[in-house]
Amino acid sequence: MITVALSKGRLFDDFIKYIEGQGLKKYSEVLRGESRTLFTLVDDVRFIFAKGPDVPVYVERGAADIGIVGSDILDEEDFEYLNVSGLPFGRCHFALAGPPNIDHFNTVASKYINIARKYFNQEQEAVSLIHLNGSVELAPILGLADGIVDIVQTGNTLKDNGLIEYKKITEVQARLIANKQTFYTKEEEIYKFISEIGVIA
């Protein structure tokens, strides 16, 4: 048996749509179940459901053999894992955004403080960063910051809050990661699963 860690939320929904497109109803029907607990079994695959930032922790520590997680989380923190493959879903991007007519950003709020710092260091811009855990769009509205660095998918959230995108920073996509040890000790089982879902390692 192998254990697969899945991110809750939007990425989980994207994964379900992806495997449905692959005709894998045996997985999608169980994973869509309304009575879903913290884990579920399908044949010899155990799926566990975790918050996105916890997925690489489970994989790194060997509690999960493989995980599906956004590259935003992998870029924000340092984890030990095998970067097996990019996945054709979960696509969006990081952007610098703020109210119209901003000439220079002195203070920027973000949940992804390390990604924001790396970007401004590369741009050689001295910017004060404020770490927030959610609803970063509030920061420029309330005058806490000039702008934000955040994930943008459709741009509707920015528009709804009177913000515009100034700079596209980097692409984000779903990635398949694996534990460095069990990727080899459970190689046959893992390859069987990732081949089944259409991933080439």
Model confidence pLDDT, tens digit, residues 179-194: 999 999 999 999 999 9
Q: What is the mean pLDDT of the chain?
A: 94
Model confidence pLDDT, tens digit, residues 64-110: 999 999 999 999 999 999 999 999 999 999 999 999 999 999 999 99
The CATH number assigned to the domain with range 2-90+173-196 reads: 3.40.190.10
Q: Which helix (H) or strand (E) covers residue 166, if one does?
A: strand 164-172
Does the domain formed by 92-171 have CATH 3.40.190.10?
Answer: yes
Other C-beta atoms lying within 10 Å of the C-beta of residue 118: 15
Q: pLDDT value at position 124?
A: 96
Q: pLDDT value at position 109?
A: 98
User: Phi and psi dihedrals of 115, rounded to 5?
Assistant: -65, -40
User: Phi and psi dihedrals of 143, rounded to 5?
Assistant: 80, 15
Q: Are 65 and 182 in contact (CB under 8 A)?
A: yes
Q: pLDDT value at position 35?
A: 59
Q: How confident is the model at residue 199 (pLDDT cuts 50, 70, 90)?
A: confident
Q: For the chain, what are the domain ranges?
A: 2-90+173-196, 92-171
Q: What is the pTM of this model?
A: 0.89
Q: pLDDT value at position 8?
A: 87
Model confidence pLDDT, tens digit, residues 154-166: 999 999 999 999 9
Model confidence pLDDT, tens digit, residues 102-149: 999 999 999 999 999 999 999 999 999 999 998 999 999 999 999 999
Fold match, 2-90+173-196 / 92-171:
yes
